[in-house]
Amino acid sequence: MTRTEAPAAGEDSSVAARLSTLDRFLAVWILIAMAVGLGLGRAVPGLDDALAEVEVGGISLPIALGLLVMMYPVLAKVRYDGLDAVTGDRKLMVSSLIVNWIVGPAVMFALAWIFLPDLPEYRTGLVVVGLARCIAMVVIWNDLACGDREAAAVLVALNSVFQVLAFGLLGWVYLDLLPGLLGLGDGEHLDISTGEIALNVVVFLGVPLLAGFLTRRVGERRMGREGYERRLLPRIGPWALYGLLFTIVVLFALQGRTITSRPLDVARIAVPLLGYFAVMWFGTFALGKAIGLAYDRTATLAFTAAGNNFELAIAVAVATFGVTSGQALSGVVGPLIEVPVLIALVYVSLAWRRRFARGPA
């Protein structure tokens, strides 16, 4: 997506009118990709099993390929010499940590118990989704919403560190300790090591981050910053959306049969997920505005808070409870709901962008 400056107050032309055809109809392409994936999963016998077997260390190679292609162009756009200004923004950093690692898991825990008190497997799967904070797809939602790329890179890296350190501990708190303390029944235990979480972080963040950083360093040395951003970035930029669409097709092809064969279960799981995305995104957006962040950092804060690392959540659910378990189905339904909801929130965010045209509140 080509980012533009915030329109002046009272400007008649809409933000959407300045987008490329690919960007303007992104919601349509995403819906088509979801439908194609679901259709392939249903129409091609054994496709889901064949795709599931192409993995290394519990990581699906087709999904990894799609996410790497998606993230690389966005991370190549980041001006890494500007990260100091982000790390020095204490309001942004502290708010992100609180929202992602205290508020987010607690909100999902509460919604899962409120809406699924009679379905413990689905409830547990949703709690796992809430613990897996987003480190991959959020960079493209942020870029589409014209958020702060440098801030997104820093917050995603911060989430990655905390994911390695805190995922196992929070899993014990929300799946074992709290249910017992609140008299909600027996707890669950997650079967995942710190090493497996670290591998997830390296593959889905470390590799594209290093590639993006090296591309900018080498590109700027050879072409200068202006030449790099004017000549190279427009060439690689569209690949972020191609990678996104490919990832969606593969993801839904993997789980198409499961999703379409259990529509009522999917609907039950979708309700708390919709509540979660609404609470996290709108609440965090309001928080950013309240503490005086400019639009670009407010959008970044909101999208990093609302997104989840569906690949990690699915991997943990499958490893712990089995591929046919209700917990795994909850992980699968996560992106089914997250993708269209967050792309809709991109448009909401762009519509609200005008309110920030005069700078920080």
Pair 334, 327: CB distance under 8 Å = no
| Under-70 pLDDT residues of the chain | 1-24, 27, 48, 52, 56-59, 186-194, 255, 319, 322-324, 355-361
pLDDT at position 189 = 67
Q: What is the pLDDT of residue 337?
A: 86
Query: Does 12 map to a domain?
Result: no
324 inside domain: yes
pLDDT of residue 115: 95
What pLDDT is recorded for position 288? 94
DSSP 308: B
Whether residue 24 lies inside any domain: the answer is yes
Contact between 333 and 274 (Cβ < 8 Å): no
Contact 216, 78 (CB under 8 A): yes
Joined tokens for residue 152: 């997104």
Report if residue 27 sits inside a domain. yes
Q: Per residue in 69-128, pLDDT tens?
A: 887 887 788 787 777 777 788 899 999 999 999 999 999 999 999 999 888 889 999 999
HSE at residue 101, side-chain half, CA atoms within 13 A, is: 21
CATH number of the domain bearing residue 101 = 1.20.1530.20
Query: What pLDDT sits at residue 281?
Result: 96
Domain range spanning residue 324? Answer: 19-353
Chain centre distance of CA 133: 8
Q: Is residue 108 part of a domain?
A: yes
What pLDDT is attached to residue 192? 64
The whole-angstrom separation of Cα 96 and Cα 18 is 31
Beta-strand (E) ranges in 210-305? none
Asked whether residue 5 is assigned to any structural domain, the reply reads no
- How many structural domains are present in the chain? 1
**Predicted pLDDT at 7:** 41
Q: Is residue 4 in some structural domain?
A: no
Residue 3, domain member (yes or no) = no
